[in-house]
Amino acid sequence: MIIFIEMMNSISAFLDTGGQVLTVIAGVICLMWLLIFERLFFFLKTYNGIKKSVIANWQARADKSSWNAEQIRVAQVSRLTEMLNQNVALIQSLVVLCPLLGLLGTVTGMIQVFDVMAISGSGNARSMASGVSRATIPTMAGMVGSLSGVFVVTWLQRKTKRRTEQLEDSLVLQH
Amino acid sequence: MKSLNRVKQHVSTFLAAVTLTSAAFAANAQEATSLDQLLEQLAQGKVAQTQQNKQREADFMARKSEQDQLLANATNERDNQIKLSTELEANFQNNEIELANRQDALNKRLGELKELFGVLQQVAGDTKSKFQNSVISAQIPGREAFLDEFAQSMGSSSKLASIEEIEKIWFELQREMTESAKVVRFDREVVLADGSKQTATVTRIGNFNLVANNKYLEFISETGSVAELIRQPSGRYLGTAADMTAANPSQGTQQVAFALDPTGGSILSLLVQAPDTQERVDQGGPVGYVILAIGAIGLLIALERFIALFLVGNKVNRQLKTATPSNDNPLGRVLMAKEEYKDVDVETLELKLSERILKEVPQLTSRLTMIKIISVVAPLIGLLGTVTGMINTFQAITLFGTGDPKLMAGGISQALVTTVLGLVVAIPMVFISTILTTRSRGIINILQQQSAGIVAERAEKGA
């Protein structure tokens, strides 16, 4: 319990030194990873069940060669692809947003530094320090968040493509 | 000195007398007309001259004793004066020694007290400047006048401090300390933000802050007046000031959370210098307004698209569940092709379907590119503002040098604010654009890849 409280304290201290932008970045990263976990869960659990029932339905069909069958197959594959693709674009846009938000933090931090300079002159480096930490910490956080997402997004996209192809292969048309 | 002057005067009168006698002798010579006459004149003149000389000699002899007398007088007087001067000098020297001895004796008798008075003077000076800036002076005015007088009299003359005065300083210091531990309410004239004066109940929190009417006050030491801060801190802190005002002291001691300024008001007074959001945006200049205008246009488009796509998406979903195609949604309109061309072969039907789909797609994707463009253009315009701001800064440097950072501040804040505005517009636009594109692509997918399948499924079910 004490460890938990200490952890919360250090996190809130970190968020304070980074300023408001860091809070937004934290929110974005949280949302991103929530969506990523949802995707992982779908890929590893839900999708297999759906895929099996779709394949079973197809195997149960008598007619696998007519125009109707072909169109139904295309529609079925498209539906599953859409399911696989859901939120992936959103995750990707969040990955792109992270460094942008970091840049925003940098600039607002710089504004703070210049405010301090205008008030107390350029001689006082210590009073500028909080502005500098507000400029650098969000950049770092944005980079870290973005990097953490980039690999997962690439993996998800590759996986989606692969699964779609596999599904197409398993729904065989007879000619 | 005086005697010397007088001697000089006597000597000069003597010299003047000698010159006058020689002038009288020169006037006796007359113009001669012939050589004989000249000779005669010469002979006569020699006689006259001898006579004159004799008379002068007699005169001189007669006066010599007088001169001697005068000289003796002068010398005498000079000697007197010199004696006097020596005497006075000796006296002065003695006095000096006496004075030093006395001073020494005084110092010896003062002993440690001398240091004490030095410390007293210093403390009085320090305390005065401390009281001037202390918010307690808003409640108890006029404390520093006594201290000022005291420090000055201690510094300038050899006057010693009386016990009353020392005790008064002690009292004042003690009072400052005691008061700084209290939260006190008192009625006082307050200058409001609009410049008018009003008597208000001021709450003083130690020697940190003054609060009245739910607002933070500042104590202006130059005029001794209390004024409302023109720019108040953010709502979170103002709320605690309101709590402080609302707390009722008649109910006994009550605990209220309060955000105090540990510097005694200097942090709060810096707030006035920091610009608010409106002023920040103004610093961005025309470029900033252009970015904001583009952002507003983007938001309006996005809102319109959100509503339209949401409605269409709902209708398409409803269409997927009902068997009869209706005319109010894209999928329905595509499926109606099947009803219209019942007996055509599959090739033609496919053609008709794609025709319908092609008709529907532009409506679903319209204006989405616009949002995408805005999300790209906004940071670019921000960059433009950054560069123009930097140009302004460098112009200021060219004109005034780098000595004053405030002259450069305008350009720098323009540079930074436009960048911020560009990002502030771009970030939501990227997000919105992704959501809208996903949504429209989903509907288009249904039309392009599933509509034929749906037709086929329905045909099989009907068959």
pLDDT digit string (tens) for chain B, length 463 residues:
555 555 555 555 555 444 444 444 444 445 667 888 888 888 888 888 888 889 999 888 888 888 889 999 999 999 999 999 999 999 999 999 999 999 888 878 877 777 778 888 888 888 888 888 888 888 888 787 888 888 787 776 666 778 888 888 888 889 989 988 888 888 888 888 888 888 888 888 888 888 888 888 888 888 888 888 888 877 777 888 888 888 776 777 778 888 888 887 777 777 777 777 888 888 888 999 999 999 999 999 999 999 999 999 999 999 888 878 888 888 888 888 888 888 888 888 888 888 889 999 999 998 999 999 999 999 999 999 999 999 988 888 888 887 777 777 778 888 999 999 999 999 999 999 999 999 999 999 888 888 888 888 888 877 5
Q: How many CB pairs under 8 A join A and B?
A: 92
Cβ atoms B382, B345 nearer than 8 A: no
Judge whether B353 is closer than 8 Å to chain A, CB to CB: no
Indicate yes or no: CB of A108 within 8 angstroms of CB of B420.
yes
Residue A124 backbone zone (phi > 0: left; psi -120 to 50: alpha; other: beta): beta
Q: What is the pLDDT of residue B20?
A: 47
The answer to whether B450 contacts chain A (CB < 8 Å) is: yes
Residue A93 to residue B434, Cβ atoms within 8 A = yes
What average pLDDT is seen over chain A? 89
Residues of B in contact with A138 (CB under 8 A): none
- Contact assignment for B454 to A92 by CB distance below 8 Å: no
Selected residue of A24, A72, A96 to mutate for chain B interface (largest B Cβ count, 10 A): A72
pLDDT, position A30: 95
Taking CA B421 as the corner, what is the angle to CA B420 and CA B424, rounded to the nearest 5 degrees?
85
Beta-carbon separation of B273 and A69 below 8 A? no
CB contact under 8 A, B452 and A71: yes
CA B347 to chain centre: 82
Which residues, other chains included, contact B382 with Cβ-Cβ below 8 Å and sequence gap of 6+?
B287, B291, B418, B419, B420, B421, B422, B423, B426
Residues B233, B239, B244, B245, CA torsion sign: positive
**Contact, B88 vs B2, CB < 8 A?**
no
**With a threshold of 0.95, does the pTM exceed it?**
no
Q: Which amino acid is at B223?
A: T
Strand partners, B209: B205
Decide if A90 and B437 are in contact by the 8 Å CB cutoff: no
How many Cβ atoms are within 10 Å of B100's Cβ, its own excluded? 10
Per-residue confidence (pLDDT) for residue B443, from 0 to 100: 92
Distance from CA of B365 to the nearest CA of A (A): 17
Task: Give the pLDDT of residue B4.
Answer: 54
CB of A62 less than 8 A from some CB of B = no
pLDDT at A27: 94
**Contact status of B132 with chain A (Cβ, < 8 Å):** no
The predicted structure's pLDDT at residue A33: 95
| Minimum-distance CB partner of B427 among A68, A100, A107 | A100
Which tens digits make up the pLDDT trace of A117-170? 777 766 677 778 888 888 899 999 999 999 999 999 999 999 999 999 999 898
Helix (H), strand (E) at residue A174: none
pLDDT of residue A132: 87
- The CA distance from B453 to B449, in Å, is 7
Query: Is-contact A78 B450, C-beta < 8 A?
Result: yes
Confidence at residue A101, expressed as pLDDT on a 0 to 100 scale = 93
pLDDT of residue B422: 94
- Say whether residue A151 is in contact with chain B using an 8 A CB cutoff: no
The structural domains of chain B, with segments of one domain joined by +, span 2-92, 117-268, 283-462
Strand partners, B220: B225
Q: B residues 320-349 near A, CB within 8 Å?
A: 346
Cα dihedral sign for B70, B71, B73, B77? positive
Determine whether the interchain pair A104/B409 forms a contact, defined as Cβ–Cβ distance below 8 Å.
no
